Amino acid sequence: MRRTLTGWPYHPRCERIAGIAPTNFAELEARVRGLESRVQRTEEDAAAIITTVSETREDVRWLKRAVQVLLEDRGRAVPPEDDE
């Protein structure tokens, strides 16, 4: 029976991940720490995006109202209001 470098029985479907599989517990711990760090950065990025969207939403509404007032003042057609 063919075996992998780590001694486990070989299976063709696992060949593509055999090169990246950790060979000892220390490597596994390091990989987990790296993944946890990536998850934390991703969560921070998502929180920053949500904060930016919520903070700029009111600015966009204000700008739309200001443009409407300017257009009405100049006697131009006011574009239809988009519902959110």
pLDDT (tens digit, 9 = 90+) per residue, 44-70? 999 999 999 998 998 999 999 999 899
H/E element, 39: helix 25-73
Q: How far apart are CA 34 and CA 23, in angstroms?
A: 16
Q: How far apart are CA 44 and CA 73, in angstroms?
A: 44
| pLDDT of 15 strictly over 60 | no
Provide the whole-model pTM. 0.49
- The residue that leads in pLDDT, 18 or 11, is 11
